[in-house]
Structure 1
């Protein structure tokens, strides 16, 4: 998980490498007040097994081919919105997280999916996330040590 930037009290985390539910669960389990960007090309099982983490998720932002299926899987358990693209998801998640009263809301890209529907690979998806975040008004880069750069 790469801490990319902060905008105000919101932390943005790139976990694009989480290409299945098990990997996404590691990120979801380690954070709170999560604005979760999820989706792409789904793998077998989809989001199965992630239910214990749902209470940590404020809202989910569905992207890619899996959006419709994931909306059905999430049902009423988590508020969610179909964004389609990563760009739309980052913008919406950033706006929503900025309204959180929590001390450190997190916009988390942890897609639980392959990237091939919209990107060549997970690294390029992560690069796109990083670039989109750094374009947000007030974005301050975060080093791996967690200090402002």
Structure 2
């Protein structure tokens, strides 16, 4: 079933020191909780779903700064399937790989963009490679006649 909602709950960014040569940026994402959620689909219509809470962090080392983003994803699913997912999460803190991939990829795409914007506001470098254009100098071609 589909993802039907995405929201940021909290964003923080802090620059602790000036950027130094040799600085490293690393990022991580973690699903913090999985809870049942009633999802409104219209005026009087609700359906069963799940609320996945996540945390996305970017750390600039050595102790230069950090960006933290927390949010949640609403996922629509059948009641039986919801119970299976919740039981597995409660017992093992695990989610099946297909569902994990879908949830994590959605969170990463949205959170990376948000973290990039926040880091730019603080003059921290991007935490992932950004495409750049460099001039292309053509060598004089030899005449072939």
TM range (shorter): under 0.3
Q: In proportion to residue count, which structure has more helix?
A: 1
Answer with 1 or 2: which has the greater Rg.
Answer: 2
TM-score if structure 1 supplies the norm length?
A: 0.26
Question: Which structure is higher in RCO with an 8 Å CA cutoff and minimum separation 6?
Answer: 1
